[in-house]
Amino acid sequence: MKKEKSKMDVFESLRGMQPAAPPDFLFNSILNAIEQPEFTTTAPMIPIRQLRAVAASLLLLACLNGFAIAQKYKPGPKMNNQTEYSNLTNSYNLYE
Amino acid sequence: MYTDEELLQAVAQGQQEAFAKLYQRFATQVYNTALSYLQQTEDAEEVTQDVFVNIHRSASNFQGNSTVRTWIYRIAINKCMDKLRQKSAQNRFRLFPLQPEINEPPEFRHPGILLENKEAASRLFHHIYSLPETQKTAVILSYVEDLPRQEVADIMGTSRKAVESLLQRAKKSLREKLDAEDS
C-alpha cells in the first residue's frame, strides 16, 4: 500500500485545482496606493548583530571595571577594641 | 484586443483604463502565486497590491527583453521573497524571537483545491513552504501555476535544465517528508 502511494505523483492533490479570485476591494486599494506619493518602503537596515555584540562587549567591560575597582578598594580589617595596631598599619601603610 | 505589450505601453503613458485591463488580465495569476508562496490571504493581498503599484510606476522601464507576463511573474516572485525575508527579519528584531515553528504559516487551505484533495493538499503546501527559495519558486510556478518549464526558467533567470533539476530535488524532498509523516 505504501509502495503504491510512493509511486503516486507528489503533486497529485493539486490536480483540478482552480485559481482563487482576488478580493474585489483590491483594485481600489491599488489605485489608492498609486495616488500616494512614492516613498521607499524599505526600512533602514540596522546591524542588529553588531549592535548586540557591542552591547555585550560594553557590559563585559563595565563588569570587569567594577571588579577591578572592587579589588583595588577592598576594605581592610574592621577596627574594634581588640584590633592590634600592627594589623592596621599593615593594611593602611601606603608607603610600604 | 490589445496585446500585453500594448497595454503596458498605454499604462506607461498614464492611461488608467489600460491599467485596469492589465489588472484584469494578470491579477488572478499574481494573487495565486503570492497565495501559494506566502500561504496567508492578507500577505497575498498585500503583495498583489505591491506588484501592481510597482507595475504602474515602472511600466516605462520595461525593456522588452522578456514577455510582459514573465516580467510580471518576476516582480511577483521577488515581492514574495521580500515579504518572507521581511517577516523573518521582524522575528529576528524581536527581543524574544518566536520559536521557528510559531513563525511557520498556519494551516493553509487553498480555496481552489477540490474537496477530496483538501487534506492532502494542505499537507503538501505545508512542506512546500519549508523548501529552499529556488525549489519553492520552481514548484509553485511549474505545478501550481502550471507554467511551461521554459517560462519558469525565464522567470527565474536560469536554464530549463536547472529548473528540471530543482524540481527533481524538490519532489524527492517532498516525497520523503510526506512518507515520514505517513509512517
Task: Kindly report the three-state secondary structure assignment for every residue of B7-75.
Answer: HHHHHHCCCHHHHHHHHHHHHHHHHHHHHHHHCCHHHHHHHHHHHHHHHHHHHHHCCCCCCHHHHHHHH
B117 or B43: whose pLDDT is higher?
B43
What number of residues does chain B have?
Answer: 183
Residues in chain A within 8 Å Cβ distance of B49: 26, 29-30, 33
pTM of the predicted model, to two decimals?
Answer: 0.73
The pLDDT of B155-179, averaged and rounded, is 94
Shortest CB distance from B171 goes to which of A10, A18, A22? A10
Phi/psi of residue A83, nearest 5 degrees: -65, 130
Whether B144 sits inside 8 A of A17 (CB atoms) is yes
Q: Average pLDDT, whole number, for chain A?
A: 76
Strand (E) or helix (H) holding A83: none
pLDDT of A50 reads 84
Instruction: Return the pLDDT at B93.
Output: 61
* Nearest residue on chain B to A43, alpha-carbon basis: B86
Nearest to B124 by CA among A9, A20, A2: A9
The lowest-confidence range among A10-19, A62-71, B105-114, B146-155 is B105-114
Mean pLDDT of B130-138: 93
d(CA B56, CA A34): 8
Residue B174, C-alpha cell as written in the block: 517532498
B109 touches chain A (CB under 8 A): no
Chain B residues with beta carbon closer than 8 angstroms to that of A44? none
More confident residue, A27 or A73: A27
The residue with greater pLDDT, A90 or A63, is A63
Q: Is B125 in contact with B108 (CB distance < 8 Å)?
A: yes
Among chain A residues, the shortest Cα distance to B111 is held by A20
Mean predicted confidence (pLDDT) in B161-166: 96
Q: Please report the pLDDT score of residue B179 as a whole number.
A: 87
pLDDT above 70 covers a percentage of chain A that reads 61
* Greater pLDDT, B113 or B149: B149
Return the C-alpha cell found at B170: 524538490
Q: Which residues fall within 8 angstroms of residue B131, CB to CB, at 6 or more apart?
A: B139, B170, B173, B174
Q: Report whether pLDDT(B60) > 60.
A: yes
- Please check the confidence at residue A12 and state whether its pLDDT lies above 50: yes
Contacts of A47 in chain B (CB under 8 A): none
Among the partner-chain residues B53, B121, B182, the one whose CB lies closest to the CB of A34 is B53
Size of interface A-B (CB pairs under 8 A): 83
**pLDDT higher than 70, residue B86:** yes
Query: Percent of chain B scored above 90 by pLDDT?
Result: 66
The identity of residue B85, as a single letter, is R
Cα–Cα distance measured from residue B110 to residue B34, given in angstroms and rounded to the nearest whole number: 12
Contact (Cβ atoms closer than 8 angstroms) between residue B137 and residue B156: yes
CA distance B117 to chain A (A): 5
Decide: helix, strand or coil at residue B179.
Answer: helix
**A27 contacts in chain B (CB < 8 Å):** 20, 23, 27
Q: What is the pLDDT of residue B141?
A: 95
* pLDDT number for residue B103: 55
CB contact under 8 A, A2 and B93: no
Looking at chain A, which residue has its C-alpha nearest residue B54? A34
Distance CA A30, CA A42 (A): 19
B48 touching A (Cβ < 8 Å): yes
| Confidence at residue B72, expressed as pLDDT on a 0 to 100 scale | 96
Nearest by CB: A2 against B114, B117, B182: B182
Q: What is the pLDDT of residues A31-50, one digit of tens each?
A: 999 988 766 555 566 777 88
Confidence of residue A1 (pLDDT cuts 50, 70, 90): very low
